Amino acid sequence: MSTDKIDETKQRARAAVDAVADDLVRISREIHAHPELSFKEHHACAQLVPFLEAQGFRVQRPAYGMDTAFRGEWGHGPATIAICSEYDALPEIGHACGHNLIGTAGAGAAVALIKALDPSDARIVILGTPAEEGSGGKVVMVREGCFDDIDVAMMAHAAPVDIVDAPMFGVSHVDVEYRGKAVHASVFPEMGVNALDALVTAYQAIAQLRQHIRRDSRIHGIITHGGDAANIVPGYAKGTFYVRALKPWYLEQLKERVKHCFEAGALATGCELNIIWHEEAEYAPMLNNGPMCDAYRRNGEALGKMFIDLKDLSTGSSDMGNVSQVVPSIHPNFGVGASAFTHSPEFTAAAITDAAHAGMLQTAQALAMTAIDIALEPGLLDAIKADFAGRGAGSDRF
């Protein structure tokens, strides 16, 4: 298709977002006002699904064995383009990760596409992906074959600034338990086996390990149970740790070294040790597809976005990483007009401002315009697939 025709299609997409802007802002505010934790996002789904259906999507809910997941489809063209929407909140601080904006931006982009494209141009899939905050709805969806018929996938995440290709760590969650022998801490201390000492020893070993790990990795954790009374030698202690790395092979190495720290605590104190790796919810590193990132950058800049290049940015993890391991994907960040950091009360407040909603609407347009390039620009999808086959091979692939 000619460049002029592609530009005309993009203009229709931009106008389509503008036409439903009031609805999108209303949905974002409604989701923000009713924060729901992972796998409990019924109110959020009740806002998004009817809106998508009213705009022309055929929506299946529940989906993939999850009550708060959904899949909407439209069109029958040669390329199948998926847009992911998140909408779960955090305990205590609500939408401090801006998922009210993320889910609504995805819905806006999807609606823009069905208003701008011909059904024969592409098949558009809008995916409601619950439980990103630690439980991994997309991990389940990958496992259940959701992306087997998808050519590319995309979403955008709220942040302080706009970034095209921010790195995202792979992360593995682990619980560790120590069992010793509880006794009176003053009368018979010599008879006790201190489970808290075992955990503290492991905690300190991990703290010392941090000096000797790669810059593109992280380890952090908390003690979730350390005893019941100060005058009782703790017979049971428990901790939770996250191990993160940008390279899958190094994540596996780091997990082994963390395990040795746990074993050191048990050996030093004589406690029994139980290590529980939650591999069913392990997040993979994000593989940002080069040609898709380039297209998103061009479209974002055409809309006035000013991207910050932070290749060494310290960032978090997302189950979008798991999607990126099986299909070409992007996960850009969009600014909310405030310097607040995600997972803070300040970001919760920032995620409902007019500036945040302006960024959300602009991002919906940028995502839609990028999808239009993929659907209509000759050779782009082939370049995307070639990049995925090349960059995804070897050490970056789970």
Helix H, strand E, coil C: the string for 99-123 is: HHHHHHHHHHHHHHHHHHCCCCCEE
Q: How far apart are the first and last CA of the chain?
A: 36
Residue 2: per-residue pLDDT = 81
pLDDT at residue 393 tops 60: no
Residue 394: per-residue pLDDT = 45
Instruction: Using a pLDDT cut of 70, give the percent of the chain over it.
Output: 97
Residue 204: per-residue pLDDT = 98
Residue 396: per-residue pLDDT = 57
Q: 2-6, 268-272, 371-375: which range is least confident on average?
A: 2-6
Helix (H, G, I), strand (E, B) or coil at 383: helix
Dihedral pair phi/psi, residue 282, rounded to 5°? -75, 130
Residue 392: per-residue pLDDT = 54
Residue 89 near residue 133, CB atoms below 8 Å: yes
The whole model's pTM is what?
0.92
pLDDT at residue 352 tops 80: yes
Mean pLDDT of 100-111: 99
Residue 148: per-residue pLDDT = 98
pLDDT at residue 281 tops 90: no
- Tokens of residue 260, six digits: 């040795």
Residue 167: per-residue pLDDT = 87
Mean pLDDT of 153-171: 95
Give the number of other CB atoms < 10 A from CB of residue 175. 15
Mean pLDDT of 124-131: 98
DSSP one-letter string for 144-175: TTTTTT-SEEE--EEESS-BSS---BEEEEEE
Helix (H, G, I), strand (E, B) or coil at 125: strand
Mean pLDDT of 11-26: 99
pLDDT in tens, 39-73: 999 999 999 999 999 999 999 999 999 999 999 99
Give the number of other CB atoms < 10 A from CB of residue 77. 16
Mean pLDDT of 157-170: 93
Question: 153 vs 68, 133, 201, 275, 365, CA distance in Å?
Answer: 20, 19, 44, 35, 16
Residue 314: per-residue pLDDT = 64
pLDDT at residue 249 tops 60: yes
Residue 316: per-residue pLDDT = 86
Mean pLDDT of 350-379: 98
271-305: b (≥16 Cβ within 10 Å) or e = bebeeeeeeebbbbbbbbbbbbbbbbbebbeeeeb
pLDDT at residue 395 tops 60: no
State the chain's mean pLDDT as an integer.
95
pLDDT in tens, 290-348: 999 999 999 999 999 999 987 666 678 999 999 999 999 999 999 999 999 999 999 99
- Report the distance separating Cα 139 and Cα 225, nearest Å: 29
Structural domains in the chain, sorted by start = 3-168+285-396 (3.40.630.10), 170-281 (3.30.70.360)
